[in-house]
Amino acid sequence: MTEALDLPEFERVAYLPEITLDVYKALPEDICSRIEVVDGWMVRCESPEPSHQTIARNLANHLWAAVKDLDRRASTCHRVNNDVDVLLSESPKLHFRRPDVLVYRCIDEDRGKWGRKPYASDCLLVVEIVSADSVTTDTRDKRAEYAAAGIPNYWIVRMTGNDGPAFTIERFLLTLDGNYVSAELAVRRRDFHAVDTTNPFSVKITWEQLDDGI
């Protein structure tokens, strides 16, 4: 059972002048799981709705099947996960995000204080599913942050009413000048597949597959 959030401790963290990696590592686990850190400042992450979680799980499962095929053919090694911290920068200030879905290179050994969690340079793809309280963050802020960190692929999933089945998926590719450009926008009822691409690997996912369990 998840323990209740320690509100006094949470408020103390919120008013810290700066959260460094050492400070973050020393925080209670229940607080670490509820925050991101942007330029040294705490950003609280609200628990997602069930539909959001279902889409993220289904997307990760189908990406994992595609990634296993890629690794088998290319003799590479990747992981697909939900809600894993990605270190965008440690200096001059700590900055990490926790994408809804991410594909990253296998990490076999601890790398200092960040352990086996990925750096931005390890990531092949990150995905954010837009909720009612994350529209600006996912479509503007994180898009700029992931691009600046050099992550080559960013997908944004929009849900019906920000709390229902997915109705669009937009895929962005990183250009040589360090900005994302839209590669494709898939729209429910117009396009049979929610995802149909060979970049960064070959994968096809239908809207019904994303809906499974909603």
Write the pLDDT tens digit of every residue in 126-183.
Answer: 999 999 889 999 999 999 999 999 999 999 999 998 888 999 999 999 999 999 999 9
Please report whether residue 2 resides in a domain.
no
Q: Are residues 58 and 38 in the same domain?
A: no
Q: Are residues 110 and 204 in the same domain?
A: yes
CATH number of the domain to which 147 belongs:
3.90.1570.10
What domain range is 26 assigned to?
7-44
Q: Are residues 87 and 143 in the same domain?
A: yes
Q: Are residues 193 and 111 in the same domain?
A: yes
Please report whether residue 31 resides in a domain.
yes
The pLDDT assigned to 15 comes to 75
The pLDDT assigned to 54 comes to 97
Q: Are residues 38 and 129 in the same domain?
A: no
Please report whether residue 18 resides in a domain.
yes
Please report whether residue 25 resides in a domain.
yes
The pLDDT assigned to 7 comes to 61
The pLDDT assigned to 162 comes to 84
Q: Which two tokens stand for residue 105?
A: 């290179």
Average pLDDT across the chain, whole number:
94
The total number of structural domains that make up the chain: 2
Q: Are residues 145 and 40 in the same domain?
A: no
Please report whether residue 174 resides in a domain.
yes
Q: Are residues 81 and 186 in the same domain?
A: yes
Rounded Cα gap, residues 82 and 17, in angstroms: 30
Q: Are residues 142 and 64 in the same domain?
A: yes
Average pLDDT over residues 92-102: 98
**Residue 206, pLDDT above cutoff 50:** yes
Q: Are residues 24 and 72 in the same domain?
A: no
pTM, full prediction = 0.93
**Residue 120, pLDDT above cutoff 80:** yes
The pLDDT assigned to 199 comes to 95
In 10-165, DSSP assigns E strands to 35-38, 41-44, 78-81, 86-89, 95-97, 101-105, 123-130, 153-159
Please report whether residue 13 resides in a domain.
yes
Q: Are residues 40 and 62 in the same domain?
A: no
Q: Are residues 35 and 84 in the same domain?
A: no
Write the pLDDT tens digit of every residue in 23-52.
Answer: 999 998 888 999 999 999 999 998 899 999
Please report whether residue 84 resides in a domain.
yes
Any residues with CB less than 8 A from the CB of 130 and at least 6 apart, and which? 138, 139, 156, 157, 158, 159, 162
- Give 9 or 116, the one with higher predicted confidence: 116
Please report whether residue 1 resides in a domain.
no
Q: Which residues pair with 87 in a beta bridge?
A: 96, 119
**Residue 96, pLDDT above cutoff 70:** yes
Q: Are residues 143 and 59 in the same domain?
A: yes
**Residue 5, pLDDT above cutoff 60:** no
**Residue 3, pLDDT above cutoff 60:** no
**Residue 193, pLDDT above cutoff 70:** yes
Any residues with CB less than 8 A from the CB of 196 and at least 6 apart, and which? 186, 203, 204, 205
